[in-house]
Amino acid sequence: MTNPKSKIRQARFASEAHPSDTLLCTTEEKTASDGQNLPPNPKSVAILGAGAWGTALANLAAANGHRVGLWSRRGSQPLETILEDADIILSAISMKGVADVVEQIKYAPISPETIFVTATKGLDPQTTCTPSQVWQTAFPDHAVVVLSGPNLSQEIELKLPAATVVASDVTAAAELVQLVFSSHRFRVYTNPDRLGVELGGTLKNVIAIASGVCDGLHLGTNAKAALVTRGLTEMVRIGNIWGAKTGTFYGLSGLGDLLATCNSPLSRNYQVGYQLASGQTLTEILANLSGTAEGVNTCQVLVQIAQQKNIVIPITEQVYRLLQGEVTPRQALDELMLRDMKPEYND
């Protein structure tokens, strides 16, 4: 019988989030320090994107004893080498790079059994497609899984407990991904509503920007509660038109992620809003932001969709106008407070 330990190889993580670290961990050290049993059948996981989230996910899978390769466009390892024999290819590329990377690997020799997982929370500005739709279009015969939830990467890197959702219409694929990432500090649920889970994580970024503005203006807890609750109403409205299930938005990937990002200064989207409220320009903020605030781009795509489909999304619209420099934070607040009177529910 093969000793499963012999299957563990050193994972060399060339992290962009931590450029000074060339060797963040070995899978062996991670497994031992976490006190987890090695899996009987370790999987080969290729993670694309060595930013904050890709690195955190790579560490989670490595800690469970899986063979992990982490690819960065700035690293020395060729993409094809990382993809070789991968059971799972997980993309944690920011939205602006997804189409590029898909194009690069479209014709790579990938086993038909390989599962694609996307952890990106954004919308393609050209097509308005979600990342999982982009992956599924390029790889129509492969299972595509979305991984999304209240997952601030810095807390996960500190080994604080968190939960997430893996969603796919291919149940077996979602269950395999669940197994690979689950641990005593990362609880993973499955969900068949791939689109709903993906949109929850994506749409909340715009509300997180608004929440940062709310806190930056010191508007209080009542205002924040109203903003997040009405923000969730907007998310459900957009999601329903897109074909997502309402209930999904009340789960971890919707409400859960709203609670995390709308209340944490660790959220880059929240930071954008907070700094706008402090009088900085968007250009200044983005120039100094560490990592990606997807809500800035998502907001533009949503306004475009809302205009085409006649969807009422007042908070998103005000965030858009604020990002465009058309209104000040105070003017955006007044516009929202002085809208026509209406019943709470008229959908």
Ligand X SMILES: O=P(O)(O)OC[C@H](O)CO
Q: Does 151 bind ligand X (CB under 6 A)?
A: yes
Burial grade of 109 (CB within 10 A; 0-12, 13-18, 19 or more): exposed
Among 64, 114, 253, 292, binds ligand NAD (CB under 6 A): 292
Are 51 and 291 spatial neighbours (Cβ–Cβ below 8 Å)? yes
Closer of 157 and 175 to ligand NAD (Cβ): 157
Give the span between the Cα atoms of 220 and 212, in whole angstroms: 12
One character per residue 66-85, x = contact with ligand NAD (rule: CB under 6 A): ------xx------------
* Residue 161 DSSP one-character state: -
Are 83 and 76 spatial neighbours (Cβ–Cβ below 8 Å)? no
Q: Is 73 annotated as a binding residue?
A: yes
Q: Does 122 bind ligand NAD (CB under 6 A)?
A: yes
Residue type, 79: L
Q: Does 96 bind ligand NAD (CB under 6 A)?
A: yes
Residues 263-292 that bind ligand X (CB under 6 A): 267-269
Among 8, 11, 51, 191, binds ligand NAD (CB under 6 A): 51
Q: Does 323 bind ligand X (CB under 6 A)?
A: no
Are 179 and 155 spatial neighbours (Cβ–Cβ below 8 Å)? no
Scanning 21-29, 119-127, 227-235, 331-339 for contacts with ligand NAD by CB under 6 A, the matching segment is 119-127
Please pick, among 204, 224, 245, 309, the residue that the annotation labels catalytic.
Answer: 204
Report which of 293, 297, 294, 299 is spatially closest to residue 234, judged by C-alpha positions.
299
Q: Which does 269 bind (CB under 5 to 8 A by kind): ligand NAD, ligand X, none?
A: ligand X
Asked if 224 is an active-site residue, the reply is: no
Q: What residue is closest to ligand NAD based on CB?
A: 51
Q: Token digits for 75? A: 């690293």
Write out the H or E segment, with its range, that includes residue 216: helix 194-216
The full DSSP string for 78-89 is: -HHHHHTT-SEE
Residue type, 132: S
Which residues form the interface with ligand X (CB under 6 A)? 121, 150-152, 201, 205, 208, 257, 260-261, 267-269, 294
Instruction: Specify binding-site residues for sn-glycerol 3-phosphate.
Output: 121, 149, 204, 257, 267-269
Positions marked catalytic = 204
Instruction: Specify binding-site residues for NAD(+).
Output: 49-54, 268
